[in-house]
Structure 1
């Protein structure tokens, strides 16, 4: 029977499952609020930017894309700050307060009247994002035990991937029928539910009493931490460059009606869900091979999508496959960061989401730039290809440096041991000489 996170009591398998479900519900709400704008971008643009939309739908969609970028930047700012500040507190209490903050900020998005205020609310709503996922990943990893850490992370992340199967398409469908604000009201209700579930179902887990923000920030002294963050922020941006503009890709490139957008989102979500669990199992065997495998897949599949998006059946095939490859990268980078972070586990786990959302902001912004330049709605996919290539290059450099440093460390240890052997031999010869004399 598994032990509780603080090691003081025994947890039944049922209690562990309920706790993991509660954490996944919170992730489900976050996944819905983060990605629902992708499917409703034209609706939001026409409502909040009506004059610009009347003159140029492309320009209005590109400007509305800043809502996605603002959310991503909020994650980047909030993840290390909050995670570092709350590392010493009870993790269940921290997760509960973060859930309440999500609820209030999402309500603000649903009711604020102007584009500028909605933009600000999306930034604020994102601040708890990284800290939630980081702390929830630590709780999930400990609940399942050392041999199943990556699977624990994947189970927490499963809420995000299932959100792309159910939450995002359903909220998109509601938003298309009742207005985009109704979609965010649904998301706020999800956050309220997750807050209650976490409070009652997640066992209390002590924080790290001696940990401070200053001590957590020592994680930035590790070159491998910086490499992992760069892999996520640049390489994963390739997915978001495509995903941020999936609605106009479906309607303008494939020529499908708007009502088909939620079904494309379902397809991406199913691919993400499958990729998340497959990567969780593979990463428990080898983080390095798993990361390179899924990056290589994403590169090939983005190229295939760019070449075949005019065909609606092929679009469905490739968005499923791209979702599979992209989400396989998420829990793998999370596990990688936990491996290289040393004692700064809380902030490292949250930094993964800073990295991925730098990719979100970067990908969405670059996608908007190429669309606004007149390059068309396929251009963001090619931006994604270039970002993925860069991510692979950074990953290869990181693993090469790690092996080189490992060999250097081994050589230093061997040299010290050889010196010690020589010293002992010399001492023995000297001792023998003295005895003979």
Structure 2
């Protein structure tokens, strides 16, 4: 039997975590608390990018050395979050989220006090280790609050705080750093974390339905090829968002020949697209199986071509930036639903792995774009690196779907019933 092939084939673990109905009459405060937590985390992540020149100068290092602090955060997500998730497998998700907020406060408080770049790198790793585990546990709690069949909407709610951080939190954090010093930015993030922690403590339900599961179940998920294939689909496909986002500044000033003052506007437009795509993608992920990912990846490929050909015109560039953010975020909730479907007994770990894949995508997109620039192909050439990576991700996903259909004995023709709807 191929009980792990699709979302519809659930274990008792998933029934308890993602399909149980909430005893909370009004889940909105708890959902807000989860989004506030991810907003604080996202502000700390993206805001630190905006103050890199400031802490480099203050700590007496060159920019390339200062980027080690940014890289350490990403490594914390990729390595630290799955490790924390496994170690805390049996912990109640409410307790885990509160513990993660404490660790988040510790990491950012120590970052604000770091006397040298070496310790700042260590403290940023600690801060990053919170992110994936928080998103994973938060998605489990949100799914519990929403009720049956809304895992995509639940993950989109948790991701919503991160998208708002790209629109408001990151610019605000950068502004604080520029006007009050880079350490003040981390203190501001710590204050946001305190608010989030208070909200989580007050509004998250106390219930045994959110108890953790077996470490064996979590580890068993890592033995499934489909999980790793889906992680590769995410890391490859989503990289194009960072092949664009990382280079928005040069797109505006060098390609479109506009004043640097327009860069924050372009970033905000991109962030608004992310928020819109995330909201719609959560609904599509729960209702239409594969389509969220296929439409999202396909849409971003078309937009990347348009930017590569005509992105030097601001009237084309800005709508395309909105579109790239929207279409790529449209796909991410489907990735989470698919991951959880392949490993229903480890929903928290799958959320952590999804965030780890996003951080790998960050590196792949930035590296791919840098390679095209170094090759002398022009400012807008970074989108072609993203195009190649997302195409690879889409092709891998289609191959994965075909493989899963064959393994489960379901027809692969277009229009075939979704496995979860089979008797």
Q: TM-score range by the shorter chain?
A: 0.7 to 0.9
Deviation at 1:172, TM superposition (A): 2.8
Question: Structure 1 runs of 4+ off > 6 angstroms?
Answer: 3-9
What is the alpha-carbon distance in structure 1 between the residues aligned to residue 49 and residue 301 of structure 2? 21
1:122-161 equivalences in 2 (<5 Å): 122-161=124-163
Deviation at 1:286, TM superposition (A): 1.6
Q: Is the aligned partner of 1:22 residue 2:33? A: yes
Choose which of 23, 42, 57 in structure 2 pairs with 1:31: 42
What is the alpha-carbon distance in structure 2 between the residues aligned to residue 189 and residue 265 of structure 1? 24
What is the alpha-carbon distance in structure 2 between the residues aligned to residue 188 and residue 329 of structure 1? 31
Gaps of 5+ in 1: 53-59, 411-437
Deviation at 1:401, TM superposition (A): 0.7
Q: Is the aligned partner of 1:107 residue 2:109? A: yes
What is the alpha-carbon distance in structure 2 between the residues aligned to residue 313 and residue 118 of structure 1? 41
Q: Paired residue for 2:283?
A: 281
Conservation of the 8 A alpha-carbon contact between 1:65 and 1:368: no
In 2 relative to 1, CA 313–46 (structure 1 residues): closer, same or farther, beyond 3 Å? farther
Could you report, residue by residue, the CA deviation over 1:86-123 in whole angstroms, capped at 9, with x for unpaired residues? 12112111101111111221233334244444333322
Deviation at 1:375, TM superposition (A): 5.3
Choose which of 353, 364, 380 in structure 2 pairs with 1:362: 364
In 2 relative to 1, CA 185–383 (structure 1 residues): closer, same or farther, beyond 3 Å? farther
What is the alpha-carbon distance in structure 2 between the residues aligned to residue 80 and residue 310 of structure 1? 41
1:396-415 equivalences in 2 (<5 Å): 396-407=398-409
TM-score by length of 1: 0.82
What is the alpha-carbon distance in structure 1 between the residues aligned to residue 133 and residue 233 of structure 2? 20
Deviation at 1:38, TM superposition (A): 4.5
Deviation at 1:311, TM superposition (A): 2.9
Q: Paired residue for 1:418?
A: none
Conservation of the 8 A alpha-carbon contact between 1:19 and 1:202: yes
Could you report, residue by residue, the CA deviation over 1:224-275 in whole angstroms, capped at 9, with x for unpaired residues? 2111111111111221232223334434443444443322221111101100
1:93-242 equivalences in 2 (<5 Å): 93-206=95-208, 207-208=210-211, 211-212=214-215, 214-242=216-244
Q: Paired residue for 1:295?
A: 297
What is the alpha-carbon distance in structure 1 between the residues aligned to residue 83 and residue 45 of structure 2? 20
In 2 relative to 1, CA 66–243 (structure 1 residues): closer, same or farther, beyond 3 Å? farther
Conservation of the 8 A alpha-carbon contact between 1:77 and 1:127: yes
TM-score by length of 2: 0.84
- How many residue pairs are counted as aligned between the two chains? 396
Q: Paired residue for 1:421?
A: none
What is the alpha-carbon distance in structure 2 between the residues aligned to residue 71 and residue 266 of structure 1? 23
Q: Paired residue for 2:24?
A: 11
Which structure has the highest helix share of the two?
1
RMSD of aligned C-alpha atoms?
Answer: 2.9
What is the alpha-carbon distance in structure 2 between the residues aligned to residue 241 and residue 312 of structure 1? 18
Deviation at 1:139, TM superposition (A): 0.5
Q: Paired residue for 1:327?
A: 329
Aligned to 2:302, the other structure's residue is in SS state helix
What is the alpha-carbon distance in structure 2 between the residues aligned to residue 266 and residue 310 of structure 1? 19
Aligned to 2:322, the other structure's residue is in SS state helix
In 2 relative to 1, CA 32–8 (structure 1 residues): closer, same or farther, beyond 3 Å? closer
What is the alpha-carbon distance in structure 1 between the residues aligned to residue 343 and residue 232 of structure 2? 15
What is the alpha-carbon distance in structure 2 between the residues aligned to residue 42 and residue 247 of structure 1? 15
Conservation of the 8 A alpha-carbon contact between 2:18 and 2:148: no
Aligned to 2:165, the other structure's residue is in SS state helix
State which drifts further: 179-188 or 158-167. Answer: 179-188
In 2 relative to 1, CA 401–259 (structure 1 residues): closer, same or farther, beyond 3 Å? same
Conservation of the 8 A alpha-carbon contact between 1:6 and 1:205: no
Could you report, residue by residue, the CA deviation over 1:298-326 in whole angstroms, capped at 9, with x for unpaired residues? 11112222334433333321211111012
Choose which of 309, 312, 315 in structure 2 pairs with 1:313: 315
In 2 relative to 1, CA 70–371 (structure 1 residues): closer, same or farther, beyond 3 Å? farther
Aligned to 2:409, the other structure's residue is in SS state helix
Conservation of the 8 A alpha-carbon contact between 1:93 and 1:199: no
Conservation of the 8 A alpha-carbon contact between 2:103 and 2:126: no
